[in-house]
Amino acid sequence: MYAGHFASALILKTAKPEAPTWGLVAGAGLLDIGFGLLVACGVEGLSPNWKTAHLLNIPWSHSLLTTLLLGGLFAALFRSRGRGVMLVMFAAVFSHWGLDVLVHRPDMELWPHSTIKLGLFKVFGPVSGWAETLFVVVATIIYALRARVSPTHGRHWAAMGALMAVFWGMGYVAG
């Protein structure tokens, strides 16, 4: 679902052109940045039963509570840019959780080490590849159309599209 996270950032940029693109992209990837750091520290990683269940050990980086707190803290960094920008920054962080919960096996906890684990892989897993493609294409078209009429969008949508394509390809290779 990696290109899908960038697609969320593009849609949010369209909704709030004043929000910096780098902030939206970083926000949309924030949970995985946290995951990477925690893997490096040996706190998170693959679960012991990865071979049979493909569950990740992500109690801290991907819990709903962490997402809400991180989203709030991240949004607060943009306080000087106004409430609307703060809102889309929070949405960028939360969008990651929202997309992940659709495709993860039940390994996303309500709060760190909660017994309630979320993940709708069984429902959406088989179609998520196609759904992501559609989501990315639609987001890119919306963004490109808005970029034509709004000077604040700039013309870097093609670069963003290329970046998403790279991550999308990487996702297929890795997955």
Residues that bind Zn ion (CB under 5 A): 31-32, 100
Q: How far is the CB of 65 from Zn ion (least distance, A)?
A: 15
DSSP reduced 3-state for 117: strand
Q: How far is the CB of 97 from Zn ion (least distance, A)?
A: 8
Q: How far is the CB of 5 from Zn ion (least distance, A)?
A: 8
Question: Would you say 64 or 144 has its CB closer to Zn ion?
Answer: 64
DSSP reduced 3-state for 46: strand
Q: How far is the CB of 62 from Zn ion (least distance, A)?
A: 6
DSSP reduced 3-state for 14: helix
Q: Which two tokens stand for residue 1?
A: 């679902």
Question: Would you say 36 or 84 has its CB closer to Zn ion?
Answer: 36
Question: Would you say 2 or 157 has its CB closer to Zn ion?
Answer: 2
Q: Amino acid identity of 87? A: L
Question: Would you say 68 or 142 has its CB closer to Zn ion?
Answer: 68
Distance CA 49, CA 36 (A): 20
Distance CA 117, CA 62 (A): 10
